[in-house]
Chain A
């Protein structure tokens, strides 16, 4: 296990479609984070998990967004009824629990909504 992986790397979809992204964290990391980054901006926090429990959600995470981590390993982020404003890079990161909170990032999934 060499790092955090994300799939797909790129996704182009039409407005109104549903999309799902997957993140596989570093295997011994029990914390997993989702961020969104729009062009020219720094990433923004969306949500994070400790094991399978979703412990915090940003107000950016509208009801069209849902994230799961059913077995405490990989996580999925689903966006329903996509809008053009959802176009962004979706980043996943993982970390050990405190005090080891250094986060390791995946390569991201770039979403383009047409």
Chain B
């Protein structure tokens, strides 16, 4: 069992839908990252959070430390949101290296 698990693996949505991607982890963490990867490989950091909730535009990330669970929400989804979304955990005590989930491939249809 991976230390970081994401669900679903694949997600297809219609433009405008509200999207939720889930991440569960089994280790103590000091922070959790949400990343976006487009075809061709480039990775963009969306959020780094250790508690509560963060919001950037249409993206919202939440984390529940007690339940070891985080969610990424996309409101009013758009075809340009189509990408792979990756959850990555920085272990407690670790000085920086990340443990990644396998990613959720999101496709938003017009």
B interface SS class: strand
Decide: B103 and A42 in contact? CB cutoff 8 A.
yes
Task: With both chains docked as a complex, state the minimum distance between the C-beta of B43 and any C-beta of chain A, in angstroms.
Answer: 4
Any B CB within 8 A of the CB of A85: no
- Contacts A31-B96, A56-B95, A98-B95 given: A105-B101 contact, CB under 8 Å? no
A33, B43: Cβ atoms closer than 8 Å? no
* Contact with A43, one of B31, B44, B100 (Cβ below 8 angstroms): B100
Question: Do A33 and B86 touch across chains, with their CB atoms under 8 A apart?
Answer: no
Q: Which residues in B have their C-beta under 8 angstroms from that of A41?
A: 102-103
Instruction: Give the complex CA separation of A42 and B85 in angstroms.
Output: 10
Identity of the chain A residue whose Cβ is nearest the Cβ of B101 in the assembled complex = A42
Minimum CB–CB distance from B51 to chain A (whole Å) comes to 14
B-facing residues in A1-54 (Cβ within 8 Å) = 31, 33, 35, 37, 40-45, 48, 50
- Which residues B68-110 have CB closer than 8 A to chain A? 86, 88, 90, 95-103
Task: Tell me the minimal C-beta distance from A51 to chain B in angstroms.
Answer: 13
Chain B residues near A42: list those with CB within 8 A: 4, 86, 88, 100-103
A residues with CB within 8 A of B: 31, 33, 35, 37, 40-45, 48, 50, 55-56, 58, 89, 91, 93, 95, 98, 101-105, 107-108, 110
